[in-house]
């Protein structure tokens, strides 16, 4: 759509609310396209896929997860972990830990973990079917990225106007503080799953508890490189597994 300046350059008089009208019109078009793209796969699931309730739940859940990704991956992962394991029972606590560990092996931990959750959800829901697990993975990826693209296309035209807004900066400061608390919640969730794998406070894994202390000392006292320490953790986990299997 042509800008106000383009119309005025051609000698066409533009009413005062032209820019606001064009922004609203563009936003409505984007929301309409988003709604169509969101509903189309859901309609296909309703028509062709078995257990439509599961697919409906999957699409709604990961759309909700994508809507709070502005805090970063570590802000949304606690929500995904707790709901998918404790409420929806798509995978076990230890399987969720596997997904979180997988996400740390490469860049982009959020989409890797979410795709893993979608894969395991389809796998368990349909009796170990890898085909349905793959469909769950693709569906999860689609509904995770779709709201993010809406954020980009709808927010890009106005982002420059918000950079110097003091009220918005104060609001984002509050969001940053909340994200720190959410990341702490994720750390507690991970620690609990590792140290108390059986969910019994009286039966801790002392080897894992000791290794957490060692890791904190290595990272904060001796400033060991994070990537190097991830490799060390992998070797320690492998060694511990071999010792327990003997």
**pLDDT tens digit string along 174-231?**
777 777 887 788 788 888 888 887 766 778 888 888 999 999 999 999 999 988 998 8
**Integer Cα distance of 189 and 154 in angstroms:** 34
CB atoms < 10 A from the CB of 61, how many? 23
Q: What pLDDT band is residue 71 in, cutting at 50, 70 and 90?
A: low
Q: Residue 17 has which token pair?
A: 């609310």
pTM: 0.78
Please calculate the CA angle 95-209-183 and round it to the nearest 5 degrees.
Answer: 60
In the predicted model, is pLDDT for residue 16 greater than 70? no
- The pLDDT value recorded for residue 1 is 46
DSSP conformational letter for 179: H
Please calculate the CA angle 87-191-86 and round it to the nearest 5 degrees.
Answer: 5
- The pLDDT value recorded for residue 200 is 66
Report pLDDT digits (tens) over 116-170.
Answer: 999 999 999 999 999 999 999 999 999 999 998 888 888 777 776 677 778 777 7
**Integer Cα distance of 42 and 123 in angstroms:** 19
Helices 18-48 & 52-66 angle (0-180, nearest 10): 150
- The pLDDT value recorded for residue 20 is 64
CA 143 to the chain's CA centroid = 11
**Integer Cα distance of 84 and 73 in angstroms:** 16
Question: By C-alpha distance, which of 65, 112, 111 is closest to 88?
Answer: 65
The two counts, helices (H) then strands (E), for the chain are 10, 0
**Integer Cα distance of 232 and 227 in angstroms:** 9
Which strand (E) or helix (H) includes residue 20? helix 18-48
């Amino acid at each position: 759509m042509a800008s106000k300046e383009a119309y005025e350059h051609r000698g066409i008089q533009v009413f005062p609310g032209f820019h606001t009208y064009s922004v609203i019109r563009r936003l409505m078009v984007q929301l309409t396209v988003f709604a169509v793209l969101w509903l189309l796969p859901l309609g296909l699931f309703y028509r062709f896929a078995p257990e439509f309730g599961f697919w409906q739940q999957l699409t709604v859940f990961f759309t909700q997860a994508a809507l709070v990704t502005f805090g970063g991956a570590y802000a949304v992962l606690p929500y995904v972990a707790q709901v998918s394991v404790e409420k929806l029972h798509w995978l076990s606590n230890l399987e969720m830990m596997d997904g979180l560990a997988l996400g740390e092996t490469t860049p982009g931990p959020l989409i890797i973990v979410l795709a893993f959750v979608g894969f395991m959800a389809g796998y368990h829901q349909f009796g170990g079917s890898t085909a349905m697990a793959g469909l769950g993975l693709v569906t999860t990826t689609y509904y995770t990225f779709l709201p993010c693209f809406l954020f980009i296309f709808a927010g890009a035209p106005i982002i420059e106007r918000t950079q110097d807004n003091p009220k918005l900066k104060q609001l984002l400061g509050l969001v940053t503080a909340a994200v720190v608390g959410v990341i702490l919640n994720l750390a507690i969730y991970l620690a609990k799953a590792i140290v108390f794998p059986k969910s019994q406070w009286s039966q801790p894994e002392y080897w894992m508890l000791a290794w957490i202390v060692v890791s904190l000392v290595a990272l904060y006292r001796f400033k060991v490189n994070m990537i190097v320490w991830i490799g060390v953790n992998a070797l320690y986990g492998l060694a511990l597994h071999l010792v327990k299997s003997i």
